[in-house]
Chains A and B, each alone.
Chain A
Amino acid sequence: MEQKTDMRILQVQGLEVSYGHIQALKGLDLEIMKGEIVVLVGANGAGKTTLMETILGVNKVGKGDILYKGKSILGKPADKNVRDGMFLVPEGRGVFAWMTVKDNLLLGAHHNIRQADEKMKAVFESFPVLSERRDQVAKTLSGGERQMLAIARALMSSPELIMIDEPSIGLAPIIVNDIFEIIVNLNRQGYSILLSEQNVYKALKCAHRGYVLETGNLVLSGTAEELLNNPGIREAYLGA
């Protein structure tokens, strides 16, 4: 049966990616529906970052295809994909430490600078902390504030698909809850989200579906509930 492609914002088909001799992704299939939160679960080195950066257009694809909004984006550079509504919140936040909060936000709006003022107003309303710190350099922000800045910067670009790579890393549990709440709220506003996490329980609790990666292979996928109840997952990731 023919699936309705217009419901899928992203399709990854048989994706293989290598760094020199090391094959980081070994034939991966994945899809994200519009308005979904999909979580990528996997240990260190599983290939989560590689997958996200490849979707963004940074890595060379060995085999397979990536379709964004129904069209193949193989060979399309990252800046074009960002222009077309994709945005990555990188592992480790990737904010520019020596630039002000405001400049960091404006970088997110590089491709739609005309809407920057309007977007910034909205962002400052949702993140009052950033508004207070707007003229400080990002170096002076706390870890949680930096993560907020990285997410807010993504919003500045008017994205449709936001990929968030391990947002909870290095944050205190209470801040982690805040960040997950922000992510759920974004999804409620209509953004499609691909989230990679090692904090499997919390991530699955707020996601629609999930994929489990192991050294470049997809080993399991399903709805968040199925994965939460899966004995293998419970043992490997949830410590049950």
Chain B
Amino acid sequence: MEVFIAQFINGLSLGSIYVLLVTGFNLLLLVAMIIHFSFPVTVVFSMYISWAVLNVTGNNLILGSLAGILSAIILNIATAPMFQHIMKKRGHVDINATMVISMGIGMIITDVLSHGFNHGFPIAFPDNLTGSSKGAMLNVGLISISRGQVITLVVGVVVVAGLFYLLYRTRAGRAFRAIAEDPNGARLVGLPILKTGIQSYALTGILGGMTAVLLSILLGSASPGLGDQMAHKVLAVSIIAGLGNLQGGLVIGLLLGVLEAMVQGYLSGSWSNAIAFVVMLIVILVKPKGVFGMKLG
């Protein structure tokens, strides 16, 4: 039972990270109308920036986190014109072309990470960020949970809740959803399409940055290959949930996190990826359009 509870909490922390990544991916898909499956790779890039700043500033957590978040916003907005250019030139959504751009961005970043940082070796985040030194564990009865897990879970839940509040309860969120449902109709009711598109890049940038910080806390390390691994999972989660389905992404993201944690707790950590993908494979065979249905115009 103790293992179950501990791993459940662990899974929710990991799951909330998947939810953040999937929601960012879906927002770009729905509002900016691009398939940016390398979005998680840009998040790992921000982890590296954050790590570098931590190194330079003698592990100043605030500066390190800020650098991670800022770099994600800048990177996201900087790549926006490239995507937007294609969209304007073709005059309609061109998911294939944006996919190629995204792929390119992902490969470049992965190469930069393996050549430019720490000689390509995995990086480790300092203990004062991850809280992984022994004294930092929380003990509740027989269950021990690391401070990092608690922080990721709490912040993750708050950010996801805030994000869904923004989407479903605010003026900007309403515009996001309207454009996502019917871009042409949204233009006819006077929504500023381009501006809202840029806002969605900025928002996913903020999301990406916060995810980078949470991932650093939770994993305590990163390697150049982490981005691709995350990207595959996020793409899988969003397809299984139903492309563009925000609520579906929330559910499936959390489930994947819990599934992986359970495999790690009861079977073997090194098999968690493979088992997660086997399960996802079965689900997609049964429900080719996603468990909750696609929401793409």
Q: On chain B, which size bracket covers the interface?
A: 10 to 19
Q: How far is the CA of A78 from the CA of B295 in the complex (A)?
A: 26
Q: On chain A, which size bracket covers the interface?
A: 20 to 34
What is the minimal beta-carbon distance from A39 to any residue of chain B, in angstroms?
20
A103 touches B190 (CB 8 A): no
Q: Which of A58, A87, A99 contacts B187 (CB 8 A)?
A: A58
Q: Which of A90, A110, A157 contacts B188 (CB 8 A)?
A: A90
Q: Does B174 contact A (CB under 8 A)?
A: yes
B185 touches A99 (CB 8 A): no
Give residues 145-188 of B contacting A (CB, 8 Å): 171, 174-175, 177-178, 181-182, 185-188
Q: Does B294 contact A (CB under 8 A)?
A: no
Please name the residue on chain B nearest to A153 by beta carbon: B189
Please name the residue on chain B nearest to A87 by beta carbon: B190
Q: A107-B175, A113-B171 are in contact. Are A157 and B181 (CB under 8 A)?
A: no
B188 touches A96 (CB 8 A): no
0/1 interface trace, chain A 88-100, chain B, CB 8 Å (1 if under): 1010001011110
Q: Which of B174, B175, B181, B188 contacts A98 (CB 8 A)?
A: B181
Which residues on the B side are within 8 Å of A113 (C-beta)? Answer: 171
Q: Which of B177, B190, B193, B295 contacts A110 (CB 8 A)?
A: B190
Which residues on the B side are within 8 Å of A97 (C-beta)? Answer: 181
Which residues on the B side are within 8 Å of A99 (C-beta)? Answer: 174, 177-178, 181
0/1 interface trace, chain B 183-211, chain A, CB 8 Å (1 if under): 00111111111000000000000000000
A110 touches B185 (CB 8 A): no
Q: How far is the CA of A111 from the CA of B171 in the complex (A)?
A: 10
What is the minimal beta-carbon distance from B18 to any residue of chain A, in angstroms?
24
Q: How far is the CA of A77 from the CA of B187 in the complex (A)?
A: 9
Q: A106-B171, A113-B171 are in contact. Are A82 and B178 (CB under 8 A)?
A: no
Please name the residue on chain B nearest to A81 by beta carbon: B190
Please name the residue on chain B nearest to A82 by beta carbon: B190
Q: Does A224 contact B (CB under 8 A)?
A: no
Q: Does A53 contact B (CB under 8 A)?
A: yes
A107 touches B174 (CB 8 A): yes
Please name the residue on chain B nearest to A88 by beta carbon: B188
Please name the residue on chain A nearest to B172 by beta carbon: A110
Q: Which of B174, B182, B185 contacts A106 (CB 8 A)?
A: B174
B189 touches A82 (CB 8 A): yes
Q: Which of B181, B186, B190, B295 contacts A111 (CB 8 A)?
A: B190
Which residues on the B side are within 8 Å of A10 (C-beta)? Answer: none
What is the minimal beta-carbon distance from A36 to any residue of chain B, in angstroms?
22
A79 touches B192 (CB 8 A): yes
Q: Does A15 contact B (CB under 8 A)?
A: no
Q: Which of B175, B181, B185, B192 contacts A90 (CB 8 A)?
A: B185
Which residues on the A side are within 8 Å of B181 (C-beta)? Answer: 96-99
Q: Does A218 contact B (CB under 8 A)?
A: no
What is the minimal beta-carbon distance from B246 to any residue of chain A, in angstroms?
11
A96 touches B185 (CB 8 A): yes
Q: Does A108 contact B (CB under 8 A)?
A: yes
Please name the residue on chain B nearest to A52 by beta carbon: B188
Q: Which of A77, A94, A98 contacts B189 (CB 8 A)?
A: A94
What is the minimal beta-carbon distance from A55 to any residue of chain B, in angstroms?
12
B188 touches A94 (CB 8 A): yes
Q: Does A56 contact B (CB under 8 A)?
A: yes
A contacts, CB < 8 Å to B: 53, 56, 58, 77-79, 81-83, 87-88, 90, 94, 96-99, 103, 106-108, 110-111, 113, 153, 157
A selection of 12 A-B contacts at a CB cut-off of 8 Å is A56-B188, A79-B191, A79-B192, A88-B188, A90-B185, A94-B189, A96-B177, A96-B178, A97-B181, A107-B175, A110-B189, A153-B189
Q: Give 3 nearest A-B pairs by CB, closest first.
A: A82-B190, A79-B192, A94-B185
